[in-house]
């Protein structure tokens, strides 16, 4: 099995593996050998906006879920979940 068999050559947006809207790609090379390992979609503004929108929606849904869990769990678990949500929110900013 070749190393490239493990590479996904699409981007994951809103639960689906997708190509760039315009069909463009960028080669991914091994810096040690210069060998082309595969390609990734050359995503543009529209795809990026979709990905950001879906990620932001996921944070909202996740926050609601955490609030429901917090209401039913001991304080130590609540603190851990609160830190997790804060970390996730900071990561998308």
User: Does 88 score more than 90 pLDDT?
Assistant: no
What CA–CA distance (Å, rounded) separates 16 from 7? 16
Q: How high is the pLDDT of residue 85?
A: 86
Q: What is the pLDDT of residues 50-82, one digit of tens each?
A: 999 999 988 888 888 888 877 776 667 778 888
- The better pLDDT of the pair 2, 70 is held by 70
For 41-79, letters b (16+ CB in 10 Å) and e give bebeeebeebbeeeeeeeeeeeeeebeeebeeeeeeebe
CA distances from 5 to 12, 17, 37, 66, 90 (A): 17, 16, 10, 37, 34
State residue 2's pLDDT score. 60
- Per the prediction, the chain carries an average pLDDT of 85
């Amino acid at each position: 099995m070749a190393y490239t068999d493990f590479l996904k050559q699409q981007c994951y947006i809103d639960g689906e593996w997708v190509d760039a809207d315009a069909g463009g790609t960028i080669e991914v090379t091994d810096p040690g050998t210069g060998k082309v390992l595969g390609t990734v979609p050359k995503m543009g503004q529209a795809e990026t906006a979709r990905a950001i929108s879906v990620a932001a929606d996921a944070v909202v849904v996740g926050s609601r879920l955490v609030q429901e869990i917090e209401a039913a769990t001991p304080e130590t678990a609540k603190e851990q979940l609160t830190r997790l949500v804060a970390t996730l929110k900071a990561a998308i900013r």
